[in-house]
Structure 1
Amino acid sequence: MPVQPENFNTRYIIGISFISALGGYLFGFDFAVISGALPFLRTQFMLDAWWEGFLTGSLALGCIVGCLIAGNITDRYGRRPGLMIAAAIFAISSIGIALSQGLTFFVIMRFAAGIGVGMASMLCPMYIAEVSPAKVRGRNVAINQLTVVIGILVTNLVDYLLADHGPDAWRWMFGLGVVPSLVFLVGVIWLPESPRWLLKDGQVDKAKAVLNKIGSAEFAENTTAAIQKSLTGNQKVSYSTVFQKSVRPAVTVGIILAVFQQFCGINVVFNYTSTIFESVGANLNRQLFETVSIGAVNLIFTILAMWLVDRLGRRPLMLIGSLGLSILYIVLAFALQNHYPAYMVSVFVLLAISIYALSLAPVTWVLISEIFPNKIRGAASSVAIVSLWGAYFILVFTFPILAKKLGTYGPFYLYAGICLLGFLFVVGKVKETKGQTLEELEDNLVRH
């Protein structure tokens, strides 16, 4: 008999999900703060197109390292220690960036911040997926995306309010990140370890204790038995294990979805809002106001996505997002090419943000947290998210260079084509996962 939703300790599950998802807030902070700071940094460090792209993308290079570190830590020592380390890195890097006197030190500290972002981007969705019952797992993992977009919105708003505080306003923009970093660190101390990791480590009693807090005794016993069954056999995991024939289909889908989420191009809008609106004549105040508008729309549609992901499902949302972005990018590119007024460009930008926030943004993270077998989830998630951050670096590094050569509108025609290819991939390769336990998904993978 399936366990009924009322047998779950909903308040406890949401509580630990939100605490873990504070890492998502910091992810959103470090991701968004560059957009408001770039107009100041161009003057401070006399950035050309190459350095602007590299400075922005240096976060992604750190993210790659962070994912690799997190993959090792999470399999050896558990999810919780990794979250604590990420929180500490966030705090230290925020102070370091704010105190930077030269471009080299700034880039080093931005790279360090990326390590924390990379760790959080992998560990937070994984942890939430592992402590959430199947029927609410999609919604709960989407909590992480909710905190990401709250982080983006709050950061954009703070950047907008600080913009008139002189040429050193960017230092405050980055330095204020130390406050949520410390809140996250204190919160993680309260979190229990993932019951799936505890069982993998042989700590059966501790795992059952956590599961008994999440649900009924029957839920704890059934879940323990299912997890232990999925962990039978070879426990030694290496990156070569991730590419074994039996799991290769899931890993391939995870990598392609991760890369597609970045190559779809929307993060150009997030990171280079000022560049896009400057190209149609908007002043600095209007540029920063647009970042706030983007953050607000992003938040509204992420909340809607949390409601839909366990009702409508993962696959339909991915299809809507990929095809919708493809169409909107063509319209946006045309508007930029023909120098439409800033308010009209803003409409198309906000429509693109809303489609992305409803689909590719949260659902990709949900799928990555779900589709890998228990035995390799840490290593496989690491590989997929390393691929994601590698794609992010390529995207944000190349945009200023492409925009200089092709015009600001040019890259959006390219992104439209990529989104169409992504739509075809989802149609052919992505299966629905809603309502199934992680162990049921693993059984289906083995059978197919």
Structure 2
Amino acid sequence: MSKFESSSVTKAFQKSVKSYLPDSLKLIAGVSGGPDSMALLYLLHRFEMDAVVVHCNYQLRGENSEKDQRLVEKMSSFWEFECVSVKLENESMNNFQAWARERRYEIFYDLKREFQADFITTAHHQDDQIETILQRMLRGAGLTSWRGIRPIEEQLFRPLLEVSKGEILKFVEEFNIPYRIDNSNEESTYARNFLRHNWFPEMRKFFPGWRDNILKLRDRAEEYELMADEILKSVRMDRKSLKREQFMELPEKIRSAILVHFIESATKEIDISSSIRSISENLIELQSGKSIQLSSNYKLVRDRDLITLNRISDEKKASVELKKEDLSQIKAVYGHQMSIEEYDGKFEDNRLYADLSKVSFPITVRHWKDGDRFQPLGMEGTQLISDHLTNRKISSAQKNDAFLIETFDGNICAVIFPHNTSDDQIGTLSESVRCSSETKKVLVICNQT
């Protein structure tokens, strides 16, 4: 057996490919130029796998970013891979990493469709797994999320999840695989880097074997999921319906946990873990025909002896055009009220105030689409709405629930979030409709009460 074949990295890669990709498939490979992704690229080369290499250049580090790109392009050519490099301009106001990840995966998925590839492959490794589990624990995520990231999820393939960062560094040195280090990864600005550089060295001192213990949590999470599956089977009528009587007989804490499991098994679009206890309690008194709205897309409906998860009709979410006189007649649009009021210079929480003189009617209320831009209040220049929602920490699953208000002249004067944010804001007003000392009347937007 050769040195390459006996490497723990090679063996882990082979095992993962054999387990999850039994057939010869085409891949989109995300390669940054760092040691992890360059090791992945080398393995794809050695095993003669069909892949298109994709490199995202965020242009944050000047010439160093250009050197990263040139390295990936050079080695891709040397190992006979087609390479697509994409240069991006940072449009994130706050959370660059979230913005960068979203943009990166949008590009991966677009190229997957263009090249008709089967999977997107990335170089996530065991250290990434540990960091992910720890972050989810510290943020209060449910036990099932402690499974961490999986080797294969939908269209993503991660063949190095069982390999540590130390093993990868040894591998690239041993086989003279060129790579570059992004110095920003050495900073403790971001959550992962804080864990990596501040927590982990101390953990090794005080808790020997802590890494293995964290990884064992994946097994506990899977055990929990299996038990939840068995309980759910006993109270579920079908994929989107619960047998009410049997469900209500469950102990209160178990009932809440099973409700979360039921919703998660039916759709990935809803994040309700923080409010699940109150939702579970409200189901007790819910009358037949009544419902509890979970998001702008879903609601739980009491239908005699069943509790059903219903998707709200897309017809109710069609674009709505409103004349000024319509505002005094309609009750709500997309769950929000709009009214015209005299302006007294005061502002209330959970309400947006637009200078009426700067709003050209009729206005259109619609869901945002790719490419929509606006100028957030207090910001110079415009921003993609998709980036704005990311910066305001609206999850990917809920982004599609956001909507906007567009004036007759095509100006987007407000973006409304699918739920109140952590700072209790319902949305963001555009700078173009900012109120001033000259404002006489305002268009007021608020949640339906």
Q: Kindly indicate whether structure 1 or structure 2 has the higher relative contact order, using CA contacts under 8 Å at least 6 residues apart.
A: 1
TM-score bracket for this pair, using the shorter chain length: under 0.3
Q: Structure 2 length normalisation: TM-score?
A: 0.23
Greater helix share, structure number: 1
**Structure exhibiting the larger radius of gyration computed from Cα positions:** 2
